[in-house]
Structure 1
Amino acid sequence: MPPVDSASFPLSLPSVNTIRSLASRLRDGVLLYRADGTQVFVNPAATSLCAECYPADLDHGLSMDKLLPRDALKLARETGHWSGYLSFQESRLLAAQAYYTAEDGGCYLIILQDLRLIRAYDQDLVRRHAELNVRLTAAQENLLQSEKLASIGQLAAGVAHEINNPIGYVHSNLSSLQEYLRSLFALIDGYERALRSPDPKAELPEIDQMRQRLDIDFISQDLPQLLSESREGIERVTQIVRDLKDFSRSDRDESWKMVDLHANLDSTLNIIWNELKYKVTLEKHYGTLPLVECLPSELNQVFMNILLNAGHAVGERGTILLSSGVEGDQAWIEFADNGSGIPPETLQRIFDPFFTTKPVGKGTGLGLSISYGIVAKHQGRIEVDSKVGEGTRFRIVLPIRQPKHATPH
C-alpha cells in the first residue's frame, strides 16, 4: 500500500494525542524509543507487563537492551523488523516484535503480547465453538424431528384410513360374533332341556329344527374365519401404531444399533402405504443383508422421503422396485421408479435445502436435504440416476459397521 500524502488526504490525520489515547486502550504492550534508547512512550499494558516480568529493572527505567535479546535491536535496525519470544519464571511467555525506522533520527517500536491472554482467548473461542456445535446439533435434531412430524401430519389421513379399515371390519365381526353367540347359547339351552326331559330322544327333532333355523352349520364354518380376520385386524392396527411410534420418536434417545434394514423398510411402507397403494405396483427384489449398524429412526425418515417422492413421480399409475444387496463391507438399498424422471438442471439441486418442484404448500424442500445429511452421518452416500420420461433410481450405500474413528452421533 503506498504511503498516504497528508496534503492530499481529504480528512485531517489523527493527532499524536489521539494515537496515544488509542494505544493506551490496547491489550498489547506498546513502547516507543528513540535510536539513542530514550523512552518516548509506553502504554498501560506495557507498564503492567514490565512490572510483572522485569520488576528488578524498573527502578532505573527499563532500557531496550534489558527488554529485548542482545541481537534483536541489531536485526531490527538492519531489516526493519524482529520478532521472537521472551520467557520468564513460572512458564511466563511474551511474544515480542520490534520495528525500526530511520526517519526523524531513528525510532524503535516494540510490541509485547501476553500469550496467557492469547491462550485464554483461544480457549474462549473453543468454548464458544463447542457451544455453537451443541446448538447446531440441537437445531438439526429439531429440524429433523419437525420434518418427521410434518411428514406424518401430511400422511395422517392415510394412516387413519389404514387404522380405520381393520377397526371397521373387527367391529363388524364383533357384531356377527354377538349374534353367533346368541344362537349357540340358544342351542345349548335346547340340549340342556332335552337332557332334563324324561325322553331325551323325543326332543331330538326339535333340536335339529333349531340347528337348521339358527344355521349352526354356517356358524361353525364362519366363526373360525371371523376370529382369524379379527385377530389379523387387531395385529394390523398394533403394527401400524408400533411403526408410527418408532418412526416418530426423538432421535436424541436413539442409539446406534445393529438393524435389519428390510424390516425397517417394510415398517416405513406400512405407515405410508395408503399414499401409494392406489397408484403404485410395488416389487421387492430383496437380497440377503446382514444386520447394519445405524440409527434406525433416522433411516426410516430417509426411506419415507424417497418412497413418497417416487410415488409422486409415477403420477396416476406406476411401479416402484425395491432392491438390496451387499458390496464388500457395504450394504445398499435401491429405489427405482418408472415415473417422469428429473431434468439434468434440476438433478443438480435436489439435495439443496428448501429446493422443491412441488406446488406451494405441498412440500418443504427439506426431505432430500435431510436424507442426504442422515446418510452422510452414517458415513454413507446417495447415488442418483434419472432420465426424463423413463424414471429415477436412488441407491443408498451404507457401511455395515460404522468406522471406529467416526463419531456421527
Structure 2
Amino acid sequence: MLAATLDRLREGVLLCRADGSRLYTNPAAETLFRAHPLWSPGLGLALQDMLPPEALQKADAGGTWNDYVPFGEGRMLAARLSLCSEGGSHYLLLLQDPGLVRDDQDLLRRHAELNVRLTAAQEKLLQAEKMASIGQLAAGVAHEINNPIGYVHSNLGSLQEYLSSLFALIDAYERALRSPDPRAQLAEIDQTRERLDIDFISRDLPQLMTESREGIERVTRIVRDLKDFSRSDRDNSWKLADLHAGIDSTINIVWNELRYKATLEKRYGELPLVECLQSELNQVFMNLLLNAGQAIAERGVITVSTGQQGEEVWAEVADTGAGIPEEMLQRIFDPFFTTKPVGTGTGLGLSISYGIAAKHHGRIEVESKPGEGSRFRVVLPIRQPQD
C-alpha cells in the first residue's frame, strides 16, 4: 500500500544503502535518473553521482541534508537526504522540481512582484496614452489659448491709446487749474474731450477690461485643466471628486476638436461626490469624447449625460455618428483594435478606458447601430468597496 502511494508521487523517492545500492525507487525517480548525464542502462546511477561529497557527512551528523543540485544540463533539483538508521546504513533521498517545492509565501511574493511590475507597466502605458492624446490635441489647445491671448493683446493696444487720451485730458485740466482764469480754459477742455472721444472711452473701457479678464481666466482654466489631466496620480490616492467638474475640464481641452463638426448638449443630473482617481476618469471621458467626434463625418450632435441609480452613478457620451458594426462590438475593448484608418488611432483608448473603469469596480456599457450612432455609458460605484 505504501509503495502504491509512493508510485503516484510526482517527486522522486529513493531508498538506498550507504554503498549506493538501491532498495526502492519510485517511477518519478526513475524518470529523473534516466535524464541524468551519468546514467547508463547497465550501471544505473549511484547515490554519490547525484550528490556532493558533504551530503552523506552532513546527513550522518545532523540527520538530514538538503540543497539544490545540478541534474543535467541547465537543470536544478531540490534534494533532501535523510538518515534512516544509525550508523549510516540506510538513506532516503527525495528529489523535487523547484516548481513543486515553492511554498505559498514564495508564490505570494512572486505574485506580488508581478503585480507591482504590471501596475507600473499599466501606469506607464496610461501616462503615455495621456501624453499622446495631449500631443494629438496640441494644435487645438494652442488655438484655444491663442484666441484669448490674441484679443487680450489687442485690448492692451487699445488700452494704451485710451490711457494716452486720458492723460492728455488730465493735462488739460491741470492747465486749466493753473490758469489765472480757469473758466477761460473750459472751452479747450471741451474741445479736448470731443477730439479724444472721451465719452466713447468711458463706455468702452469697462467692457475692454472685462473681456481681457475673461481671456486671461480662460487661458488659466485651460492650463489648469491640462495640468490636472496630465498628472499621473502617483500617490494613488482615492478622493471624493465632482464628476461634472472633471467632464467640463475635459471638454474644455478637447473642444477645439469637436466644435467644427458637432453640437454639444449637456444633460447633467444630480450627482454626489464620487470616490475615484479623477485624472484617470478624465482620460476615459477624453477618449469617449474624441471617439464621438471622430465618428461624426460632417455635422452631428454629441450628448453628455449623467445620472444616479442606487449606489452607482453613470456618465454617458452619445453621438449621431456612423455607429459600430455588430461584429466589431465584441472587439472594441481589445488592445490595439481600432476601426479608424491606419495612422489615425492607436487602438489603446477604449482598452485603457475599460481597464480604468474596472479598476474603479465599474464598467462601460455600449449600444451602437450602424448609421444611427453610438452610446458609451461609464457606470461607477459612489464609494469603493472596502476590500
| Alignment pair present for 1:169 and 2:151 | yes
Match of 2:86 among 46, 55, 58: 58
* Cα distance between partner residues in 1 of 2:125 and 2:216: 34
Letter in 2 for 1:59: G
Larger Rg, first or second structure (1 or 2): 1
Please give the per-residue CA displacement for 1:31-57, whole angstroms capped at 9, x wherever unaligned.
Answer: xxxxxxxxxxxx986886575257693
| Alignment pair present for 1:15 and 2:40 | yes
Partner residue of 1:319? 301
Deviation at 1:180, TM superposition (A): 0.2
Q: Please, which runs of 5 or more residues in structure 1 have no aligned partner?
A: 4-13, 28-42, 68-109
Written as runs of structure 1 = structure 2, the 5 A alignment for 1:114-125 is 122-125=104-107
Deviation at 1:24, TM superposition (A): 4.8
* Cα distance between partner residues in 1 of 2:349 and 2:43: 57
The secondary structure found in structure 2 opposite 1:20 is: coil
Deviation at 1:189, TM superposition (A): 0.6
| Alignment pair present for 1:229 and 2:239 | no
Partner residue of 1:272? 254
Letter in 2 for 1:271: I
The secondary structure found in structure 1 opposite 2:63 is: helix
* Cα distance between partner residues in 2 of 1:162 and 1:117: 59
Please give the per-residue CA displacement for 1:97-150, whole angstroms capped at 9, x wherever unaligned.
Answer: xxxxxxxxxxxxx65369999766654443333222211111110000000000
| Alignment pair present for 1:240 and 2:229 | no
Letter in 2 for 1:138: A
Partner residue of 1:11? none
Partner residue of 1:149? 131
| Alignment pair present for 1:217 and 2:199 | yes
* Cα distance between partner residues in 2 of 1:393 and 1:387: 9
After superposing the two structures, state which structure 1 stretch, 219-228 or 18-27, moved more: 18-27
Task: Tell me how many residue pairs correspond in the alignment.
Answer: 332
Deviation at 1:244, TM superposition (A): 0.2
Q: Please, which runs of 5 or more residues in structure 2 have no aligned partner?
A: 1-26, 28-38, 65-81
The secondary structure found in structure 2 opposite 1:394 is: strand
Written as runs of structure 1 = structure 2, the 5 A alignment for 1:78-157 is 112=94, 122-157=104-139
Alignment CA distance shift 1:111-1:246 (3 Å): same
Identical-pair percentage: 70
Written as runs of structure 1 = structure 2, the 5 A alignment for 1:247-396 is 247-396=229-378
The secondary structure found in structure 2 opposite 1:142 is: helix
* Cα distance between partner residues in 2 of 1:220 and 1:23: 107
Deviation at 1:25, TM superposition (A): 3.8
* Cα distance between partner residues in 2 of 1:130 and 1:317: 50
Asked whether the equivalents of residues 242 and 273 of structure 2 are also in contact (C-alpha less than 8 Å), the reply is: yes
Please give the per-residue CA displacement for 1:328-347, whole angstroms capped at 9, x wherever unaligned.
Answer: 00000111111110000111
Asked whether the equivalents of residues 307 and 315 of structure 2 are also in contact (C-alpha less than 8 Å), the reply is: yes
Asked whether the equivalents of residues 320 and 373 of structure 2 are also in contact (C-alpha less than 8 Å), the reply is: yes
Please give the per-residue CA displacement for 1:237-258, whole angstroms capped at 9, x wherever unaligned.
Answer: 0000000001001231341110
Q: CA RMSD in A?
A: 2.7
Asked whether the equivalents of residues 314 and 378 of structure 2 are also in contact (C-alpha less than 8 Å), the reply is: yes
Alignment CA distance shift 1:46-1:318 (3 Å): farther
* Cα distance between partner residues in 1 of 2:212 and 2:49: 86
- TM-score norm. by structure 1 comes to 0.75
Asked whether the equivalents of residues 247 and 282 of structure 2 are also in contact (C-alpha less than 8 Å), the reply is: yes
* Cα distance between partner residues in 1 of 2:289 and 2:152: 30
Asked whether the equivalents of residues 46 and 112 of structure 1 are also in contact (C-alpha less than 8 Å), the reply is: no
Asked whether the equivalents of residues 305 and 317 of structure 2 are also in contact (C-alpha less than 8 Å), the reply is: yes
Written as runs of structure 1 = structure 2, the 5 A alignment for 1:13-52 is 15-16=40-41, 19-20=44-45, 24-25=49-50, 52=63
* Cα distance between partner residues in 2 of 1:209 and 1:22: 120
Please give the per-residue CA displacement for 1:137-169, whole angstroms capped at 9, x wherever unaligned.
Answer: 111100000000001000000000000000000
Asked whether the equivalents of residues 24 and 44 of structure 1 are also in contact (C-alpha less than 8 Å), the reply is: no
Alignment CA distance shift 1:277-1:46 (3 Å): farther
The secondary structure found in structure 2 opposite 1:324 is: strand
- TM-score norm. by structure 2 comes to 0.80
Deviation at 1:267, TM superposition (A): 0.3
Asked whether the equivalents of residues 24 and 45 of structure 1 are also in contact (C-alpha less than 8 Å), the reply is: no
Asked whether the equivalents of residues 59 and 83 of structure 2 are also in contact (C-alpha less than 8 Å), the reply is: no
